[in-house]
Amino acid sequence: MKLVFLFILIVLIDVCIGGSVPLTLLDETNSIGRCLDGSFGGYYYDPYTDNDNSKKWVLYLEGGGECDTQELCQSKLNTALGSSNYFANSSSPSGWYFGSTDCTNNPTICTYNHVVIPYCTQDLHSGQRSEAYDITWGLYFSGHLLLVDILNQLDAKYNLNEASEIILQGVSAGGLGSWMNVDFIQSRYPNAKVTLVSICGFYFYATFYEGTNHTDATGMADFREQGVENMYQLYSSFVDESCKEAFEASGKNPSACMLANNSYPYVDVSSYIIQSQTDSVVLTGHDQLPSAYIGEEPEAEFMKEWHTNMTIALTSVISNSNKSGTFNVACFMHGSFSHVGPTINSLNFYEAFHNFYFEHENYNLYDNCGELCGTNCPSS
């Protein structure tokens, strides 16, 4: 009896502090998508807590890299990045970027419906392979199909199809995937206002640093142009349809539409881009820049050139404030944005997005001080 009472007490405490959200797993009756190992995917659903927001949703695509070789993909199979067998039975919304329990730091959308889609396909949420093949090493790449399965269940169980607002949020690999899927979501829910929030997901083609002390980029996928083409074929990727049509019409490979630098002009929905000017994961993981020599030459010159390329890539975003906005910080970081920092003009990324989404002001905030000179950058 004491154990039962203790269990009930723990559950009540967890609920009162807005603690855990249970995992919902899909199965063969409602899913053709699979995780990398063939297990069924799932999601965490945290319902609205304010009736006025019952038709407002935040969908969160998790990140976690990607794979493009048999060895790299197989290394993910015994983890939650490749198999739902390793998903947590519950998840705490306080750890989500726009967490539903975090009304102190994020008061504007904390009472919306929130859905976290864990990332177990290693295909940037883009794959359309419903079966495993020899060319996929017996693995499944069906991230887009899995997203559709989850949307189908959210429609049937929780009336997502009646949404008035949908914020699609993606971080890192989820950020890349959000660009490929967001117009699809808008077309699926034409009566909803759909907005994209891309956090460290605005990528362009990689260029390997080959100077002194360069590393071997073997632990992450190849984001050079040919590497992206290879991923597109491996995953049978779903990309933005209008971008794909435009590239095919001009005789170019539509794999380019996997990267936001190429697809942005074709994406119709409004977007808010939260991005570092010197992305630490891209530079050290995809571009072979050695982290131990940051700030020294010739590594510093490579970082300067990369920073210039990011500035050029975001030029069209900054010039199109009716459609999009940016929070672009001069920090050496990837996804560690929080209410503490980085800040621009004393605003953190929550506050900047609030101004963009609700107040329609301060669309673009960006540091123009050079490299590594942002305010309140995380230490690592």
What is the pLDDT, as a whole number, of residue 180? 98
Mean pLDDT of 160-164: 98
Residue range 125-135, pLDDT digits in tens: 999 999 999 99
What is the pLDDT, as a whole number, of residue 19? 64
Q: Token digits for 178?
A: 């959000």
The whole-angstrom distance between residue 241's C-alpha and the CA centroid of its chain comes to 19
Which pLDDT band, with edges at 50, 70 and 90, does 361 fall under? confident
16-39 residues labelled b (16+ CB within 10 A) or e (exposed): eebbbbebeebeeeebebbbbbeb
Instruction: Name the CA radius of gyration of the chain, rounded.
Output: 20
What is the pLDDT, as a whole number, of residue 318? 81
| DSSP class per residue in 70-100 | HHHHHTTTTSTTT-GGG--SEE-GGGSTT-T
- Say if residue 94's pLDDT is above 80: no
Mean pLDDT of 43-53: 94
Tell which residue, 201, 193, 179, 186, has the closest CA to residue 151.
186
H helix runs in 191-256, sequence order = 225-235, 241-249
For residue 235, give the amino acid letter. Y
- Say if residue 342's pLDDT is above 90: yes
- Say if residue 91's pLDDT is above 50: yes
Asked if 199 and 274 touch (Cβ cutoff 8 Å), the reply is yes
Which pLDDT band, with edges at 50, 70 and 90, does 11 fall under? very low
E strand spans, the chain = 21-25, 42-46, 56-61, 90-91, 113-117, 165-171, 193-199, 270-279, 324-333, 364-366
What is the pLDDT, as a whole number, of residue 83? 98
- Say if residue 277's pLDDT is above 80: yes
| DSSP class per residue in 129-160 | --S--GGGTT----HHHHHHHHHHHHHHHH-G
Which pLDDT band, with edges at 50, 70 and 90, does 332 fall under? very high
Q: Report the residue count for the chain.
A: 380
Mean pLDDT of 294-312: 90
Q: Which residues contact 309 (CB under 8 A, 6 or more apart)?
A: 204
What is the pLDDT, as a whole number, of residue 105? 84
CA distance 215 to 281: 13
Mean pLDDT of 53-57: 96
Asked if 365 and 345 touch (Cβ cutoff 8 Å), the reply is yes
- Say if residue 12's pLDDT is above 80: no
Which pLDDT band, with edges at 50, 70 and 90, does 100 fall under? low
What is the pLDDT, as a whole number, of residue 228? 97
CA distance 237 to 124: 9
The CA–CA distances, whole Å, from 285 to 163, 214, 247, 357 equal: 38, 11, 28, 32
What is the pLDDT, as a whole number, of residue 10? 33
List domains and CATH numbers for the chain. 2-366 (3.40.50)
What is the pLDDT, as a whole number, of residue 98? 77
Residue range 65-85, pLDDT digits in tens: 999 999 999 999 999 999 999
Percent of the chain whose predicted confidence (pLDDT) is above 90: 77
Mean pLDDT of the chain: 90
Cross-strand partners of 24: 43
- Say if residue 303's pLDDT is above 60: yes
Mean pLDDT of 172-196: 98
CA distance 246 to 38: 34
- Say if residue 237's pLDDT is above 50: yes
Mean pLDDT of 223-229: 96
Place of tokens 């001009």: 250
What is the pLDDT, as a whole number, of residue 144? 98
- Say if residue 17's pLDDT is above 90: no
- Say if residue 190's pLDDT is above 70: yes
What is the pLDDT, as a whole number, of residue 9? 34
Which pLDDT band, with edges at 50, 70 and 90, does 274 fall under? very high
Cross-strand partners of 21: 91
